[in-house]
């Protein structure tokens, strides 16, 4: 019984000593941009990577352009990033023939179906990257 009491008291002492030494941790802000599209090509599984313009990228953007309410036509695709998930996510920066730059995200399922996951917005995905 004496052994059990000593063990219990030792455990309580260690626990309270450990609790009293706890310090409040403040989250540190990283200098890295929190936009995952700013931190591409880092080799992280499931991360975004810089890609080239492929027929699938063009088909994904055609899907988006068909939903946009504009008479402007595609001038060029400026930047493409992809992410391998249960299918492929495309982040696409593009310019229309009226000079406006837009960005969008499109998901292509394993069955080849496209779904716009972020409506087209003015500006570039990389405009806030440093």
Q: Which residue has the higher pLDDT, 8 or 64?
A: 64
CB 61 within 8 A of CB 51: no
- The sign of the torsion formed by the CA atoms of 46, 50, 56, 60 equals positive
Instruction: Beginning with the edge strand found earlier in the chain, give each strand of the sheet holding 74-85 in spatial order.
Output: 48-51, 74-85, 87-96, 101-108, 114-122
pTM recorded for the entire structure: 0.69
| Residue 31 token pair | 């200098």
| Residue 68 token pair | 């946009």
pLDDT digits (tens, 9 = 90+) for 15-60: 555 555 554 444 444 444 567 677 676 667 778 999 999 999 999 9
Q: Which residue has the higher pLDDT, 129 or 20?
A: 129
In sequence order, which residues have a C-beta less than 8 Å from that of residue 77 and are 6 or more positions away?
Answer: 53, 57, 58, 61, 92, 93, 94
pLDDT digits (tens, 9 = 90+) for 59-100: 999 999 999 988 899 999 999 999 999 999 999 999 999 999
């Amino acid at each position: 019984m004496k052994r059990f009491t000593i063990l219990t008291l030792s455990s309580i002492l260690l626990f309270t000593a450990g609790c009293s030494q706890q310090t409040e941790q403040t989250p540190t802000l990283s200098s890295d941009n929190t936009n995952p599209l700013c931190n591409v090509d880092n080799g992280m599984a499931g991360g975004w990577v810089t890609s080239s313009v492929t027929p699938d990228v063009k088909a994904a953007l055609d899907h988006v352009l068909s939903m946009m309410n504009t008479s402007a036509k595609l001038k060029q695709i400026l930047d493409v990033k992809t992410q391998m998930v249960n299918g492929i996510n495309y982040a696409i920066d593009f310019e229309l023939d009226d000079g406006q730059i837009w960005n969008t995200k499109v998901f292509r399922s394993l069955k080849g179906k496209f779904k716009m996951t972020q409506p087209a917005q003015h500006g570039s995905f990389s405009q806030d990257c440093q």
